[in-house]
Amino acid sequence: MPRDPASADALLRDVFGFDAFRPGQGEIVDAVADGQNVLAIMPTGGGKSLCFQLPALLRPGVTVVISPLIALMRDQVRGLREAGVAAGALTSGNTEDETNAVWDQLHDGTLKLLYLAPERLASGGTQRMLSQAGVSLIAVDEAHCVSQWGHDFRPDYLRIGELRRALDVPLAAFTATADAETQQEIVTRLFEGQPPQTFLRGFDRPNIHLAFAAKNNPRSQILNFAAARKGQSGIVYCGTRAKTETLARALAEAGHPACAYHGGMEADARRHVEERFATEDGLIVVATVAFGMGVDKPDIRWVAHADLPKSIESYYQEIGRAGRDGAPAETLTLYGPDDIRLRRSQIDEGLAPADRQAADHGRLNALLGLAEALGCRRQQLLGYFGETHEPCGNCDLCDTPPQTFDGTLAVRKALSAALRTGESFGAGHLIDILTGTATDKVKARNHDALPTFAVGKDLTRHEWQAVFRQMMGRDLMRPDATRHGALVMTEAARPLLRGEDSITLRRDTMKAAERRPAVKMMVSEEDAPLLSALKAKRRALAEAARVPAYVIFPDRTLIEMTEARPATLDDMARINGVGAKKLERYGAEFLSVLTGAAEEMHPTRRRFAGKPGGAVYDRLMQAQAELCRGEDGTEKPLSCPASLLARIVERRPDSADRLAQLLDDRRMDRFGAAFLEVLQSEV
Residue 135 pLDDT = 92
- Within a domain: 323: yes
Question: Is 518 domain-assigned?
Answer: no
- How many residues make up the chain in this entry? 683
pLDDT at 324: 82
Residues 71 and 217 grouped into a single domain: no
Q: Does residue 518 register a pLDDT over 60?
A: no
pLDDT for 575 beyond 50: yes
Q: Which pLDDT value is given to residue 3?
A: 46
- Per-residue pLDDT, averaged over 578-585, amounts to 85
Per-residue confidence band for 567, with pLDDT thresholds at 50, 70 and 90: confident
Higher pLDDT: 293 or 474? It is 474
Give the integer Cα–Cα distance in Å for 508 and 400.
10
Please indicate whether residue 281 or residue 525 has the higher confidence score (pLDDT): 281
In this model, does residue 216 exceed pLDDT 60?
Answer: yes
Residue 520 located in a structural domain: no
Cα–Cα distance measured from residue 363 to residue 357, given in angstroms and rounded to the nearest whole number: 10
Residue 321 lies in a domain: yes
Instruction: Let me know if residue 275 belongs to a domain.
Output: yes
Residue 106 has pLDDT above 80, yes or no: yes
> What's the rounded Cα separation, in Å, for the pair 583 and 585?
6
Domain end residue (candidates: 147, 172, 200):
200
Averaged pLDDT of the chain: 85
Q: What is the pLDDT of residue 182?
A: 80
Task: Tell whether 213 and 109 lie within a shared domain.
Answer: no
**Cβ contact 573:609 at 8 Å:** yes
| pLDDT tens, position by position, 530-548 | 888 888 888 888 888 888 8
Band (pLDDT 50/70/90 cuts) for residue 1 is: very low
pLDDT at 146 over 50: yes
Domain residue limits at 285: 208-399
Q: Could you give the C-alpha distances from 111 to 54, 56, 62, 101, 104, in angstroms and in order?
A: 14, 10, 6, 10, 9
Query: Residue 557's domain is classified under what CATH number?
Result: 1.10.150.80
pLDDT tier at 6, thresholds 50, 70, 90: low
What is the per-residue pLDDT for 305?
Answer: 97
Kindly indicate the confidence band of residue 474, based on its pLDDT and cuts at 50, 70 and 90: confident
Instruction: Indicate if 156 and 277 belong to the same structural domain.
Output: no
> What is the Cα–Cα distance from 470 to 410, expressed in whole angstroms?
11
pLDDT in tens, 307-355: 999 888 889 888 988 988 888 899 999 998 888 888 888 887 777 777 7
What's the average model confidence in pLDDT over 114-136? 85
Q: What does each C-alpha distance from 64 to 100, 136, 154, 646 come to in angstroms?
A: 17, 8, 18, 36
Average pLDDT (139-156) is: 79
Average pLDDT over residues 579-597: 84
Q: What is the DSSP letter of 150?
A: S
Per the model's pLDDT, the better-predicted residue between 254 and 121 turns out to be 254
Q: Render pLDDT for 399-427 as a digit per residue (tens, 0 to 9).
A: 999 889 999 999 999 999 999 999 989 88
How many whole angstroms separate alpha carbon 620 and alpha carbon 623?
A: 5
Q: Do both 431 and 393 map to the same domain?
A: no
Question: Both 487 and 420 in a single domain?
Answer: yes
Cβ neighbours, 10 Å, residue 650: 12
Give the number of other Cβ atoms within 10 Å of residue 512's Cβ: 8
Q: Is-contact 604 612, C-beta < 8 A?
A: no
Given CA atoms 179, 185, 190, 196 in this order, what sign does their dihedral have? Answer: positive
Question: pTM of this prediction?
Answer: 0.69
Question: Among positive and negative, which fits the CA dihedral 38, 43, 47, 49?
Answer: positive
pLDDT, average across residues 260-277: 86
Best mean pLDDT range from 278-282, 415-419, 523-527: 415-419
- pLDDT number for residue 372: 87
Residue after which a domain boundary falls, among 371, 399, 427: 399
Pairing of strands 284-287, 258-261: parallel
Predicted local confidence at residue 385, as pLDDT? 80
CATH number of domain containing 169: 3.40.50.300
pLDDT-derived band at 40 (thresholds 50, 70, 90) equals: very high
Residue 89 counted as domain residue: yes
- Weakest-pLDDT range from 33-47, 426-440, 441-455: 33-47
Q: Is the pLDDT of residue 36 over 80?
A: yes
Considering the domain architecture, whether residues 364 and 259 belong to the same structural domain is answered as yes
Same domain for 627 and 566: no
Please check the confidence at residue 396 and state whether its pLDDT lies above 50.
yes
**Number of domains into which the chain is organized:** 5
Residue type, 16: F
Where among 576, 601, 626 does a domain terminate? Answer: 601
Classify residue 516: in a domain, yes or no: no
The set of residues, in sequence order, having a beta carbon less than 8 Å from that of 443 and lying 6+ positions away, is: none
Dump pLDDT digits (tens) for 614-668.
778 888 888 887 888 888 777 888 888 888 888 888 888 888 888 888 888 888 8
What is the domain-level CATH number for residue 424?
1.10.10.10
pLDDT average, residue stretch 229-250: 92
β-strands 504-506, 404-406: how paired?
antiparallel
| Contact call for residues 76 and 9 (beta carbons, < 8 A) | no
**Separation of alpha carbons 658 and 529, rounded Å:** 52
Residue 365 and residue 484 in one domain: no
Please check whether residues 395 and 408 belong to one and the same domain: no
- What is the Cα–Cα distance from 70 to 440, expressed in whole angstroms? 57
What's the rounded Cα separation, in Å, for the pair 425 and 417?
A: 10
Q: Are residues 219 and 248 in the same domain?
A: yes
Please state, in angstroms and rounded to a whole number, the distance separating the CA atoms of residues 406 and 411.
10
Residue-wise pLDDT tens digits, 296-306: 678 899 999 99
**Is 511 inside any structural domain?**
no
Same domain, yes or no: 623 and 550: no
344 in the same domain as 247: yes
Secondary structure of residue 181 in the 3-state scheme: helix
pLDDT value, residue 510: 45
What is the DSSP pairing of strand 197-200 with strand 486-489? unpaired
3-state secondary structure of 372: coil
